[in-house]
Amino acid sequence: MLKNVRIWFEKKGAARYISHLDLVRCMTRALRLARVPVWYTEGYNPRVYMAFAMPLSLGVCGNRECMDIRITEEISNEELVHRLSERLPEDLPILAGTDPVHRLEEVAYAEYQMDLRCSDSLALDGKIRSLLQMNTIFVLKHSKKGDREMDVKPYFRDLDIRSIDRNMLALSVRLPCSTAGSINPSLLVDAMRRYEGEELVPYITRTRLLLADFSDFF
Amino acid sequence: MFPKAVEDLLPRVQKPGRYVGGELNSTVKSKEAVDVRFAFCFPDTYEIGMSHLGMKILYGAINQVPYFWCERVFAPWIDMEQKMREKHIELYALESGDPLSAFDMIGFTLQYELSYTNILNMLDLAGIPLKSKDRPGLMNLVVAGGPCACNPEPLAEFFDLFFLGDGEELDIEVMELYRQCKHNGTSKEEFLRLAAQIEGVYVPSLYEVAYNPNGTVCSYTATQGAPQRVRKRNIMDLDHAYYPDSFPVPMIEVVFDRISEEVLRGCIRGCRFCQAGFLYRPFREKSIETIDAQSKTLCESTGYDEVSLSSLSTSDYRRLFELIDTLHQWTEPDKVSISLPSLRVDNFSPELMERINSVRKTGLTFAPEAGSQRMRDVINKNVTEDQLIHTVETAFAEGWNRIKLYFMIGLPTETLEDVQAILDLGKKVVDTYYQHKDRPGGKAVEVSLSVAAFVPKPFTPFQWFGQDTEEILGEKQKILREKVPSKRINVSYHGAKTSYLEAVFARGDRRLGQVLETVFHMGQHFDGWDECFDFDRWMQAFAQCGLDPDFYAVRSRPFDEVFPWDHLDYGIRKEFLQEECEKAYREETTPNCLEQCSHCGAACFKGGVCVEKRADLV
């Protein structure tokens, strides 16, 4: 038998500093350790089959990330989750194993939360709002094809800003996140540096993966 | 774990995964529940340190004692270091995130002379005084072990004690003594006096050095009851020695991302340039049963799918085929591959290659070390040109088309003809490929010759030898650059200047401590990395201290000279090394330990191959 299982996990703490490639290696070792009957690719160098929705940027936490694996023998999702959990570092906990509902390519958006530590959250709130009043907000966007100037104003129009306390501002935003193109929430930090001279260290978490109609991806 | 303040730095540094800990199998204890906290410091980057087998062994050995806690500390790369200094963040350990200054014992491993500046930098980053005499308390005791501890004199002022030889038992014994002394409120001086009585412990402050007017050592005098000669510690029975059943598995990619299973310690060969070949005598093998069980346990605790059978010369393991066949019983069904880190020219065979299925047919590496037979006889590298040609023929027949060969230049008695012979040998390998009938079709052969400058080391037959000067090395290098006989040959040559500094510190004395301190204060560290190494700065530091580096590196020593390491005893007799040196100059070879005992002195440890070969010891 061959069956796809969607594994949901969290990436936080120390684990947010591992790259996507390192995450793949980490998951491979854990699957081996947990003796999950995984399917190996049949190329010249067989490897454990694993497919991810959209990779997370280095340093960004994920509340509900997922990867698909293919199993060759019957094993309950509960058993799989239990065995895998024991074999992963603390900061990569497994949340659930489910039968895939959507195709991975259907992910179109993601919701992010950005925590900004600052000396005066009211003042920072004002600065961000005035930034968003501008007609265009150009920042340098890195891509494989090279760097280019891009107007990110349309993406951050609906930014939600909440003041947690005097020293903490929480922003949340929904951004495109698909193989066709993604917008990194940290572009807002770049814009703040360029236009307001503000040096911010954001703590970013991807909270949800969404479909084209903004409903949850399962 | 990492301190909260570090979080703001991590988004702005390369590879932040180096600084966060949290790996599978890392040991976290409660600091209130332990008596002695040990910081195992590796004076290089995370990726290099995490590849080191010795650290994994000692980490496990210390942590299996309930009242000890060993944590890991690595040198932050320069971008991270700069940010830590800006924000006044002390160097911290990865398990607890606590600063180094919170540790009872701070232990460094001495793998390489050019990492010495990193040691000073790490202490400084932790706000710990560099010199032993400026640390009056028992807290923050700074210790070291590893191969360079065989001549630790350039570091003598900075360290409180050194561990000589195998650390598995020794480190634990010293920590037990520390625990007692800490409990009783014993002074640091008294602790060091007591520690010096443990075999394998060298406390440099208990030895007085006198120098001759010409700058050489006149004598070492032991004081306060310390032994006149300090003998290294040896673990004789590897089957019963501690070996870890798990180790922290890095989340980011490191240099050697696999399990290292040590199959033997020591080496039978006696290559005259090789320090490890003498320091780790006698040759001791683990049993197949032990290797099998340990490898399996490690696979089950780490999830790695590759086991490297490591040692100084794994193909000298006497029951290698049987070992690999035993391992295959479970490695094949579990999709675990077996690899050998070092292959010898004289025992490479299709049978061996068949068993090591994991070896990808991309490249093979051998180390003939010298180009001419005469030169190989001088260094006692007992392989012949015929063996090498036969070996590459076998490799070509098995489908390889890339061969890498390691050589040294600047060896004792070497002439320009010997250097030319390196290129000639490369050409013969290329010709062998084109004469070979079954060579893989359509592919060209690639032969890389990697050539390093020889560094004379203590405890070798070449410890008296003056390293070639830069001028002579330059002349030899010129031949390698200009006379490459084929486009299929690629010659890489590296590090005459770094080799020179290595030579200075390998055979240095206590006076070099001030050079290290001076150059460190000039901002020098990570000398093993090209982007950080600054030779001119080093020369400036020598000049400021009024010391001539040539005295240490290029001066030939007379046989009766007292060396800064003569009071350290690795079991090898100085007379034996002298005999070997004289034989080298006569171009005579010495048989390996399995063929015939050469009475080097290591039989004093009463074990390993010495017992098998010398009936009078049993």
Split at pLDDT 50, 70, 90, the class of B348 is confident
Is the bond preceding B564 in cis, omega lying within 30 degrees of 0?
A: no
For A95, phi then psi, to 5°, come to -95, -45
| pTM to 2 decimal places | 0.92
Nearest chain B CA: its distance from A26 CA (Å) = 6
**Taking CB atoms and an 8 Å limit, are A26 and B2 in contact across chains?**
no
d(CA A69, CA A88): 16
Instruction: Tell me the chain B residues in contact with residue A25 when contact means C-beta distances shorter than 8 Å.
Output: 253, 257
Instruction: Please state the separation of Cα B581 from the chain's center in Å.
Output: 23
Bridge-based pairing of strands A168-178 and A109-117 is antiparallel
Residue A216: inside a domain? no
Q: Does any CB of chain B come closer than 8 Å to the CB of residue A87?
A: yes
pLDDT at residue B365, rounded to an integer: 85
Over 90: is that where the pLDDT of B349 sits? Answer: no
Residue A48: inside a domain? yes
d(CA B519, CA B541): 5
Domain identity same for A121 and A83? no
End residue of a domain, out of A75, A100, A125: A100
**Taking CB atoms and an 8 Å limit, are B17 and A21 in contact across chains?**
no
Q: Does any CB of chain B come closer than 8 Å to the CB of residue A167?
A: no
Domain identity same for A63 and A125? no
d(CA A76, CA A98): 10
Which residues constitute the domain of residue A185? 106-210
d(CA B320, CA B314): 8
d(CA B465, CA B275): 14
Nearest chain B CA: its distance from A174 CA (Å) = 22
Determine the Cα angle at A15 with ends A13 and A21, to 5°.
160
Domain identity same for A23 and A82? yes
Domain identity same for A121 and A156? yes
Minimum mean pLDDT range among B4-13, B348-357, B566-575: B348-357
pLDDT at residue B440, rounded to an integer: 62
Q: Across residues B547-561, what is the average pLDDT? A: 97
Those residues of chain B whose CB sits closer than 8 Å to some CB in chain A are 1-2, 7-8, 10-11, 16-17, 19-24, 249, 251-253, 257, 300-305, 335
Split at pLDDT 50, 70, 90, the class of B181 is very high
Chain position carrying tokens 């590796």: B42
User: Taking the alpha carbons of A44, A45, A46, A50 in that order, is the dihedral positive or negative?
Assistant: negative
Q: Which residues pair with A210 in a beta bridge?
A: A109, A216
Domain identity same for A111 and A134? yes
Of B16, B304, B335, the CB nearest to A59: B16
Query: Which of A18, A57, A83 would you mutate first to test chain B, the one with the most B CBs within 10 A?
Result: A18
Domain identity same for A118 and A89? no
Which CATH number belongs to the domain containing residue A117 in this structure? 3.30.70
Residue A215: inside a domain? no
Share of chain B above pLDDT 70, in %: 97
Query: Which of A32, A92, A187 would you mutate first to test chain B, the one with the most B CBs within 10 A?
Result: A32
Domain identity same for A92 and A17? yes
Instruction: Tell me the chain B residues in contact with residue A12 when contact means C-beta distances shorter than 8 Å.
Output: none
Non-local (6+) Cβ contacts of A215 within 8 A are: none
Share of chain A above pLDDT 70, in %: 100
Q: Mean pLDDT, chain B, as a whole number?
A: 93
- pLDDT tens digits along A32-63: 899 899 998 887 777 899 999 899 999 999 99
Split at pLDDT 50, 70, 90, the class of B360 is low
Residue A124: inside a domain? yes
Q: Mean pLDDT, chain A, as a whole number?
A: 91
pLDDT at residue A205, rounded to an integer: 96
End residue of a domain, out of A70, A100, A130: A100
Which CATH number belongs to the domain containing residue A30 in this structure? 3.30.70.580
- pLDDT tens digits along B272-320: 999 999 999 999 999 999 999 999 999 999 999 899 999 999 989 999 9
pLDDT at residue B351, rounded to an integer: 81
Nearest chain B CA: its distance from A217 CA (Å) = 28
pLDDT at residue B358, rounded to an integer: 52
Residue A40: inside a domain? yes
d(CA B552, CA B466): 8
Q: What is the DSSP letter of B197?
A: T
Residue A148: inside a domain? yes
d(CA B196, CA B190): 10
pLDDT at residue B340, rounded to an integer: 84
Nearest chain B CA: its distance from A201 CA (Å) = 6
Burial class of A78 by CB neighbour count within 10 A (0 to 12, 13 to 18, 19+)? exposed
d(CA B529, CA B498): 10
d(CA B302, CA B25): 8
Domain identity same for A199 and A123? yes
The domains of chain B, with CATH numbers, are: 4-231 (3.40.50.280), 333-553 (no CATH), 574-617 (no CATH)
Domain identity same for A32 and A65? yes
Over 80: is that where the pLDDT of B362 sits? Answer: no
Domain identity same for A54 and A114? no
Residue type at B239? Answer: D
Of A18, A90, A201, the CB nearest to B17: A18
Phi-psi map region of B332: left, alpha, beta (phi>0 left; psi -120 to 50 alpha): alpha
Share of chain B above pLDDT 90, in %: 83
Share of chain A above pLDDT 90, in %: 67
- pLDDT tens digits along B192-242: 999 999 999 999 999 999 999 999 999 999 999 999 999 999 999 999 999
Tell me if B91 sits within 8 A of B84, measured CB to CB.
yes
Q: Across residues B123-150, what is the average pLDDT? A: 97
More confident of the two residues B129 and A47:
B129
Domain identity same for A110 and A196? yes
Q: What is the DSSP letter of A18?
A: S
Report the complex ipTM.
Answer: 0.84
Residue A145: inside a domain? yes
Non-local (6+) Cβ contacts of B618 within 8 A are: B611
Minimum mean pLDDT range among B338-347, B524-533, B587-596, B600-609: B338-347
Domain count of the fold of chain A? 2
Chain position carrying tokens 């930014």: A159
Instruction: Tell me the chain B residues in contact with residue A11 when contact means C-beta distances shorter than 8 Å.
Output: none
- pLDDT tens digits along A98-144: 999 999 999 999 999 999 988 898 999 999 999 999 999 999 888 77
**Taking CB atoms and an 8 Å limit, are B22 and A28 in contact across chains?**
no
pLDDT at residue A39, rounded to an integer: 92
Residue A218: inside a domain? no
pLDDT at residue B361, rounded to an integer: 56
pLDDT at residue B615, rounded to an integer: 62
pLDDT at residue B438, rounded to an integer: 66
pLDDT at residue B312, rounded to an integer: 92
Non-local (6+) Cβ contacts of B478 within 8 A are: none
End residue of a domain, out of A74, A100, A126: A100
Over 90: is that where the pLDDT of B410 sits? Answer: yes
d(CA B155, CA B511): 9
Domain identity same for A19 and A52? yes
pLDDT at residue B339, rounded to an integer: 86
Over 70: is that where the pLDDT of A210 sits? Answer: yes
Q: Across residues B107-130, what is the average pLDDT? A: 97
